[in-house]
Chains A and B, each alone.
Chain A
Amino acid sequence: MGLTLTIVALVAVLAVAWRFLGSYMAAVYEGRSRFLRFVERPIYAAIGVDPEVEQSWQRYAASLIVFTGVVLLIGYVLLRLQGSLPLNPQHLPGVTPALSWNTIVSFVTNTNWQAYAGESTMSYMSQMGTLVLQNFLSASVGIAVAVALIRGFSRKGSKTIGNFWVDLVRGCLYILLPIAFVAGIIFIAQGAIQTLSGPATVTDTLNGVKQVIARGPVASQEVIKQFGTNGGGFFNANSAHPFENPTGLTNFLSIALLLAIPVALTYTFGKMVGSIRQGATILAAMVIIFGSWLSIATVAEHQANPAVAAAGLTAQPTGNMVGKEVRFGDTSSALFGVASTQTSTGSANSAYDSFTPMGGFALLTGMMIGEVTPGGVGSGLYTVLLFAIITVFLGGLMIGRTPEYLGKKIQAREVKLAALGVLVMPVVVLIITGIAAAIHAGRAGPLNSGPHGFSEILYAFTSAGNNNGSAFGGLSANTAFYNVMTSVAMLLGRFGIMVPVLALAGALAAKEVVAESLGTFRTDKPIFIGLLIGVILIVGALTFFPAVSLGPVIEALSHGKFF
């Protein structure tokens, strides 16, 4: 009952976001919404950008790459110097080199893989000055690239795809900041903490317990972590921690926030290419896949935990509660998990490592299908559009005609770029997982034995390669091997896709529009939804089936066996 009503409420909230946030974002990136001009103008003056001058895709990509290099460097230095900077009430020392590198890469790539334990590693300065900053910037970069690709479709014979700096600034100012600010106030009112005072020490006279309670500016980081599909928590326990996610309402809002932009961007896409139906078609494919995975996960998590049952407690009417919080319960945790893994957020309100085999399967494979249902902010849309191009290509092969998408001829160059963008992630994930499983430093990581141990490794690199950031948390991730290898996967998984996407945007923008004819394969009909779903699932299944078989599938089939 609770789950049904939660889903109904979620659909209602997201429908509003789709319609209104979606059209607002189109207005922002088309430059029609300009009420913050008075803030924008001095910023452009400070960074030396003329907002009216647009860039070719090469210039756009070069700006993005240089920007990334610079923020990586600045962030790395700030984390290393943490011990000498202010806002450090716990007097934490500088973060170690490998962990600093891993952390800054993970935040810049919108992954937010948590190799660190926030409360005992990161000062308030690092949390605010580095992690929160990158939560905003990496999300804005993601949306910028998606919008650049949309412009590729919506423009005719154009040499330019927008201005990277303008898109970056506008995304932060118009979209991320105002909504995060309002949501932050609700989170604080619900009990998420927001203070610069250090840890609190309390003594309970009832039981003599003395506690040191870590605190900090949590709510502000919490909301942008969800809204920007970042996922890196202030605390090690992430959204399971009562100070990050205190109530059923904050839990619901977290899920709504992390889905809002990826869902709404399909409306933005439709609006900007001149047909809302085109966006709705993409959204329909996303919703169908998301819904299927959600059913698997909620049913799975409502089952008894096999190990707890084997210990003698067979009746578990509240489902698998290992690693879950009472205030959320089994199905809300499963919903959170599916939403977080399929949006590349990677936040967690429960321990995904302790999910039932099929529950863990749903989370892991939800990432493997490429983070497109609906995927991360921006990255979800641009990746699903790569799949859409491959879909029309396959459709074209079937009917023996040059494929078109939104009036643009899809030729060899576009198909190559789309295929490259789609294949980068599985190649990176599988090769690095193979390396990790083959060498000692990799095999030293898992906490659990048997197939679940392999799942922990596979999950880690799937999460990094897809810029998700969630984890089967038992893995000891803060080692030189995992810090370096996950950072490689994160960088390739981010920029190995972004650069082909921008090249594609440039190629498409330069094309003229061909008139629709009787032979045109319609991309706003149910048949396209079906084909697109088929392509996404077939690519995912063909690449990952063997690996998944060795992990969650074996585990699910090992009735009565414990490792």
Chain B
Amino acid sequence: MRTHLFVNIRRAVAVTVVFIVICSFGYTLALTGIGQAFFSSQANGSLSANGSTLIGQNWALTRCPGHPLGSCVFQGRPDALGPYAPNAKNGVSGGDNPLVANGVSGGSGATNLGPRSKVLVANTRKLIAYWHARGVNPTTDLVTTSGSGLDPDITPADATAQIPMVSKATGISPTVLSKLIAKETHSAQFGFLGSSYIDVLQLNEALAKIK
């Protein structure tokens, strides 16, 4: 019996070492090599000059001379807005911080407020008031936080709802903004996987070009 125990321990250690080599390093490094060689942009985080198209940013503090903060751009999900701002106290934000998303310390994440949470009711009221103050009749996504706290996307309806605000602050006509939204809309993949969406960073980059 004892000898069997020792034999098994030796086998367990050996098999672990073998698979650390194959599965941990061989597999991960091979995929890293392929990713870096053939899909370098995606493998490194889809980064462009202004950030990653996959990681949401806080647009609510964008300076808009003569107009309220954040009214001259399209805004994303309120993951870092108002009640959910990582450092709402001092008023300066590090943006939609990937390491303090939705107030989760040290990581991405959701608010995890339940469907009958008083806190969620109060927070949503604040967000609805925020949008009303900017002349926007908010859609669901504009007053609800995402699962990752970093949602980079909004729906075409969410963008359309913001047209009055953006038009007023930039002087660009609503028709032009509607066309811009239509142009930046990605339909669901293959027409049915997931929802149609707009990448807020791409939309604002396109907006900056016509400003």
Contacts and interface: CB of A to CB of B under 8 A. Distances in A.
B16 A74 contact: yes
A350 B151 CA distance: 11
B146 A191 contact: no
Given A316-B140, A327-B153, A328-B195, A208 B124 contact: no
Interface stretch (A244-252, A396-404, A483-491, A539-547): A244-252
Given A177-B27, A205-B50, A210 B95 contact: yes
B51 A211 contact: yes
B121 A217 contact: no
A266 B99 CA distance: 42
Nearest to A189: B39
Contacts of A438: none
Contact of B35 (A49, A165, A188): A188
B147 A202 contact: no
Interface string A1-33: 110011001000000000000000000000000
B31 A220 contact: yes
A474 B197 contact: no
B7 A474 contact: no
B61 A207 contact: yes
Given A207-B58, A313-B128, A67 B45 contact: no
Interface string B173-208: 000000000000000111111110100010011001
B5 interface: yes
A168 interface: yes
A70 B13 contact: yes
A512 B73 CA distance: 75
Interface string A101-136: 000000000000000011111000000111011001
A35 interface: no
B143 interface: yes
Interface stretch (A144-152, A304-312, A384-392): A304-312
Contact of B15 (A47, A212, A452): A47
Contacts of B192: 1-2, 5-6, 9
A355 interface: yes
Nearest to A312: B128
Interface in A34-75: 43, 46-49, 59, 62-63, 66-67, 69-71, 74
B46 A191 contact: yes
A561 interface: yes
Interface stretch (A154-162, A234-242, A289-297, A411-419): A234-242
Nearest to B187: A248
A363 B145 CA distance: 21
B79 to A, nearest CB: 11
A211 B55 contact: yes
Contacts of A214: 98-99, 108
A561 B116 contact: yes
Nearest to A308: B124
A93 interface: no
Nearest to B48: A202
Contacts of A360: 115
Contact of B148 (A59, A188, A189, A242): A242
Contacts of A354: 110-115, 120
A206 interface: yes
A55 to B, nearest CB: 10
Contacts of B94: 209-211
Nearest to A196: B32
Contacts of A206: 50, 62, 73, 204-205, 208
Contacts, number: 418
B170 interface: no
A6 B192 CA distance: 7
Given A191-B42, A195-B45, A324-B147, A177 B32 contact: no
A96 to B, nearest CB: 13
A326 B97 contact: no
A437 interface: no
A194 B31 contact: yes
B114 A47 contact: no
Interface string A154-191: 00000000000100110011000100110011001111
Given A208-B61, A213-B98, A562 B118 contact: yes
Contacts of B89: none
Contacts of B208: 206
Interface centre among B15, B42, B154 (most CB of A within 10 A): B15
B114 A70 contact: no
A348 B112 CA distance: 13
A345 interface: no
Contacts of B111: 322-323, 351, 354
A320 B115 contact: yes
A217 B194 contact: no
B108 A43 contact: no
Contacts of A237: 101, 107-110, 147-150
Contact of B115 (A184, A317, A322): A322
A168 B15 contact: yes
Contacts of A323: 110-112, 144-147
Contact of A207 (B59, B149, B151): B59
Contact of B140 (A5, A205, A308): A308
A321 B140 contact: yes
Contact of A452 (B43, B117, B145, B189): B117
B108 A172 contact: no
A349 B111 CA distance: 14
A170 to B, nearest CB: 12
Contacts of A137: 16, 19, 23
A10 B98 CA distance: 32
B73 A133 contact: no
B147 to A, nearest CB: 3
9 contacts: A47-B14, A49-B11, A206-B205, A247-B193, A247-B194, A308-B143, A322-B113, A323-B146, A562-B116
Nearest 6 interchain pairs by C-beta? A248-B194, A236-B107, A240-B147, A209-B95, A248-B193, A117-B107
